[in-house]
Structure 1
Amino acid sequence: EIQQQSLPSNHPSIAYSYGNIGLVHCNMSNYPKALSSLEKTLEIQQQSLSPSHPDLARSYNNIGEVHRNMGNSPKALSSQEKALEIQQQSLPSNHPSIAYSYGNIGLVYKNMGNYSKARTFFTHAVQIAQQSLPSHHPNLEKYRNSLERAKNK
């Protein structure tokens, strides 16, 4: 409220606050409120950041995760693919955030029952994470486990 009174409506700090509120709601499994806050974040960022800014990708990733948790695979996939597209334009090809997006897309395909595509995306996530993260990093372990589970389907 204080930020809304003292800053312009499209100030990045307001977007950041909405994003944090959205993530709290997501962690509490209150997905409609999470989605509302995260969409406000994205709306502000689209007004104040360049179209290829990595923060936009983070917002698309977060929105995609909420849609995935709500069982809306088409919207989840669309958001995750948009995040990956932005990251591929703005980050080095072996950046951990790109691995994260590949992993998220793999999860959507897994939820859709498309294990072949899930394996492809999990494989990309593992390959990138192996280049950019320590060998026992939790995210790398998560991608490896997801890949193994998808191989067994």
Structure 2
Amino acid sequence: MYQRALQGKEKVYGPDHTSTLDTVNNLGNLYADQGKINETEAMYQRALRGYEKLCGPDHTSTLNTVNNLGILYADQGKMDEAETMYQRALQGYQKALGADIFTRHRPALNTMQKLADLRVRQGQQIAAKELYMNAHSGLEPLLGPQNGTVQ
């Protein structure tokens, strides 16, 4: 269905329309769920190039795709690449949305959690704990005390 939607959107809107790029990113998410690593990366890279060109490097759509690449790289054990993506996403969210994003912007808080997960895998428990606590303190007001727990 995503393939059909993508073909239709490319035909109607063109390859660099936000609706087309959203479908490309979502297709990458599906491929990630299916374990199709090469296809996942290709879709995320395509979406990233398109979002950067159309929306700029600090647009939330661009940064969400940067975060997705971070997740993909972490899952592959590419820790340096994952860290670069997570840091880029966090810095971009802060630049785009202001200093208080970590108290109100769920994608930024999710990226912070993913960076904390990465720190654990790198054996940096103290840095991870600080990130987890910051993410938790931001998520709790958004999700409530029962759902704001860091996973």
Whichever residue aligns with residue 62 of structure 2, its letter is L
Higher relative contact order (CA 8 A, sep 6+): 1
Question: Is the CA contact 2:15–2:21 (under 8 Å) kept in the aligned structure 1?
Answer: no
Partner residue of 2:131 out of 115, 121, 134: 121
CA distance in 1, matches of 2:114, 2:141: 18
CA distance in 1, matches of 2:82, 2:71: 6
Aligned pairs, how many? 141
Query: How far is the alpha carbon of 1:10 from its aligned partner?
Result: 1.4
**Is 1:133 aligned with 2:133?**
no
Q: Look up the SS of the partner of 1:78 in the other structure.
A: helix
Question: Is the CA contact 2:9–2:20 (under 8 Å) kept in the aligned structure 1?
Answer: yes
Any residues of structure 2 matched to 1:33-72 within 5 Å, and which? Answer: 33-72=39-78
| Structure 2 portions without partners, runs of 5+ | 1-6
- The aligned residue for residue 151 of structure 1 is none
- The aligned residue for residue 5 of structure 1 is 11
CA distance in 1, matches of 2:123, 2:39: 28
- The aligned residue for residue 96 of structure 1 is 106
**Is 1:75 aligned with 2:81?**
yes
Query: How far is the alpha carbon of 1:8 from its aligned partner?
Result: 2.8
Question: What TM-score do you get using the length of structure 2 for normalisation?
Answer: 0.86
CA RMSD of aligned residues (A): 1.5
CA distance in 2, matches of 1:114, 1:86: 24
Question: Is the CA contact 1:106–1:122 (under 8 Å) kept in the aligned structure 2?
Answer: yes
Whichever residue aligns with residue 139 of structure 2, its letter is A
**Is 1:106 aligned with 2:112?**
no
| Structure 1 portions without partners, runs of 5+ | 146-153
Query: How far is the alpha carbon of 1:56 from its aligned partner?
Result: 1.2
Q: Look up the SS of the partner of 1:41 in the other structure.
A: helix
